[in-house]
Amino acid sequence: MKIPIELKPSLFPSRVIDLCRHLHDHGFQAYIVGGALRDALLDRPLGDIDIATDARPNDMIPLFDNVIPTGKQFGTMTVIYSNKNCRESYQVTTFRTEASYSDHRHPDTVLFSDSIEIDVSRRDFTVNALAWNPVTMAFIDIVNGQEDLRLKQLQTVGDPVDRFSEDSLRLLRLCRFHAQLGFSIEVETLTAAKKLGPTVPLPSYERIQVELSKLITALDAWQGLMSLQQIGLLDRLLPDVVLKTCPELWPVWTGDQRLAFLVQEMQDYVTCLKTLRFPKKTIAWVTRLINNANDLDRASFKVTNLAISGKQLMDRGLVGPEITTMLDRLRQLVLDGVITNTVDGIEGWLDDAIV
Ligand code: ATP
Ligand code: MG
């Protein structure tokens, strides 16, 4: 396969190239695969870098000083390089082929393979199914992934109905990549997604949350959410959320502000976000944002940021819950610009308010 002209080892950290060479020198194949290769070809910043190899997990153990069996049963080992100043880690996964998915979520068995071609055939989208060996320079593209990168389109590897039925997380990943890469969705892939979206059994909430969080922080998050809605998944994940017009501030909002905007009208967004396994901290922050008109400064301003404390209110004779209520009120007055957040400003107001 012709190597894309833009592909050169210097696009990747030198450790990654050394790691691949190390495997190669011990008689194994090593390919950079997945998102890192896709992003390198698109000239986008690289996220995590995945390496695929024909070495089995037990072959890898003696080859590296620091290797952790993070997902050994699935063939994934994490190789770590660390010194005083930095720590780099790379996931190295044995070539795999997957058998049937009877639950639409997990392959029933994971079988190792000796062939990179088999490994790439089980991957989700053609643009994620490229592989490059930086030592031999072999470039694998048996699914026309390069052409789809050029066309800026997402299509599944193989029959889309089969691939989405096998693992419904791929439907979410489709919308996530649509949002991150700004790629269009190839017509048969979209038709299959629309067919399956409303009824396919959902993947685990943990996996949904990871994809939803990546989608919501993406550049084209609104588009990604529109596609989730279009394929009938949005309402299954965030019941009652209907997208109308994109708010003006959306592009400058953080992911949490976007989430707050989406869920604010829901009957019980806290339970929904809990079910989707959003961290407690995120749910608390989203709640604060909702209670403060989705304004970052207002939500960040706490009673502890006031120029006076509960102690001074106590000295003025306030007791128990009166103190909390007054602190909340003072916070509100400062935020509304009624009083300035200085000891004099607040005490002046208190002098009038409390006899
Ligand atoms: P990111 O930039 O978020 O890391 P990525 O494409 O690398 O994007 P990962 O979740 O890191 O996504 O997965 C690495 C690779 O593993 C993908 O590029 C794809 O080839 C394959 N993959 C991941 N999830 C699936 C899945 N559910 N079905 C098939 N292949 C998958
Ligand atoms: Mg990745």
pLDDT, one tens digit for every residue, the chain (355 residues): 566 767 889 999 999 999 999 999 999 999 999 999 999 999 999 999 999 999 999 999 999 999 999 998 889 999 999 888 888 999 999 999 976 666 666 666 789 999 999 999 999 999 999 999 999 999 999 999 999 999 999 999 999 999 999 999 999 999 999 999 999 999 999 999 999 999 999 999 999 999 999 999 999 999 999 999 999 999 999 998 989 999 999 999 999 999 999 999 998 999 999 999 999 999 999 999 999 999 999 999 999 999 999 999 999 999 999 999 999 999 999 998 999 999 999 999 999 887 5
Helix (H) or strand (E) holding 239: none
* C-alpha 63 – ligand 1 centre gap (Å): 26
Q: In whole angstroms, give the CA distance from residue 354 to residue 271.
A: 40
Please tell me if the CB atom of residue 169 comes closer than 6 angstroms to any atom of ligand 1: yes
Range list of β-strands (E), the chain = 30-33, 50-53, 67-71, 76-82, 87-94, 96-98, 110-112, 131-132, 139-140, 153-154, 184-185
Nearest CA, atom 11, ligand 1: 35
User: 276 is written with which tokens?
Assistant: 């989707």
CA–CA distances in Å: residue 9 to residues 17, 31, 41, 82, 135? 7, 12, 12, 21, 9
Query: Which of 286, 307, 288 has the alpha carbon at shortest distance from 298?
Result: 288
How is the beta sheet containing 30-33 ordered, strand by strand? 67-71, 76-82, 87-94, 50-53, 30-33, 131-132, 139-140
Q: Which residue has the tokens 């009120």?
A: 329
Q: In whole angstroms, give the CA distance from residue 272 to residue 91.
A: 32
User: 225 is written with which tokens?
Assistant: 């959410």
- Cβ neighbourhood burial of 201 (10 Å; 0-12, 13-18, 19+): exposed
Q: In whole angstroms, give the CA distance from residue 27 to residue 5.
A: 27
Q: What pLDDT shows up at residue 1?
A: 59
Which atom belonging to ligand 1 lies closest to the Cα atom of 36?
Answer: 7
- Those residues with Cβ within 8 angstroms of residue 33's Cβ, 6 or more apart along the chain or in another chain: 50, 51, 52, 119, 120, 123, 130, 131, 132
User: 88 is written with which tokens?
Assistant: 């780099």
Q: What pLDDT shows up at residue 109?
A: 76
Name the residue of 124, 127, 219 to mutate for ligand 1: max ligand atoms within 8 A of Cβ.
124
Q: In whole angstroms, give the CA distance from residue 352 to residue 355.
A: 7
- Sign of the torsion angle spanned by Cα atoms 51, 53, 58, 60: negative
Nearest CA, atom 1, ligand 1: 35
Query: Which residues have C-beta under 5 Å from ligand 2, the single-atom ion?
Result: 35, 48
Nearest CA, atom 28, ligand 1: 124
Q: In whole angstroms, give the CA distance from residue 348 to residue 240.
A: 47
- Could you say which ligand is closest to the alpha carbon of residue 214? 1
- How many helices and strands in the chain, by DSSP H and E? 18, 11
CA torsion angle for 296, 300, 301, 302 (degrees, to 10)?
150
Q: What pLDDT shows up at residue 104?
A: 64
Question: What is the identity of the amino acid at 348?
Answer: G
Q: String of b and e for 296-332 (b: at least 16 CB within 10 Å)?
A: eebbebebeebbbebebbeeeebeeeebeebbeebbe
Specify whether the backbone of 135 is left (phi greater than 0), alpha (psi in -120 to 50) or beta.
alpha
At residue 232, the 3 state secondary structure works out as: coil
- Could you say which ligand is closest to the alpha carbon of residue 170? 1
* C-alpha 315 – ligand 2 centre gap (Å): 57
Name the residue of 12, 39, 50 to mutate for ligand 1: max ligand atoms within 8 A of Cβ.
50
Q: What pLDDT shows up at residue 132?
A: 97
Phi, psi of 149, deg, nearest 5: -65, -40
